Amino acid sequence: MGISAWQILIVLLIVVLLFGTKKLKNVGGDLGEAIKGFKSGMKDDKEDELLKSLEQTTTNKDEVLDSDFVEKTRTSN
């Protein structure tokens, strides 16, 4: 006993009559912009995390390379 297509159509008709198409268009546009902003924010966060992990990886590699260099320099003297 779910919601039928007729019931959804009646609810949509009532909403259009109450708010008008212009108001619904504005709400839809605002909702679309909000979703785009949210997706953009999520993408930026993922890129920031990736950059931080890459920086950490290169820092760790530099430390390893520096310690290898110091060790080789000590053994060669």
- Mean pLDDT (the chain) is 79
- Identify which has the larger pLDDT, 59 or 25: 25
Q: What residues does each domain of the chain span? A: 21-76
pTM metric for this prediction: 0.44
Say if residue 9's pLDDT is above 90: yes
pLDDT tens digits, one per residue of 58-70? 665 555 555 655 5
- 64 or 36: whose pLDDT is higher? 36
DSSP the chain: ----HHHHHHHHHHHHHHH-HHHHHHHHHHHHHHHHHHHHHHHHHHHHHHHHHHHHHHHHHHHHHHHHHHHHHHHH-
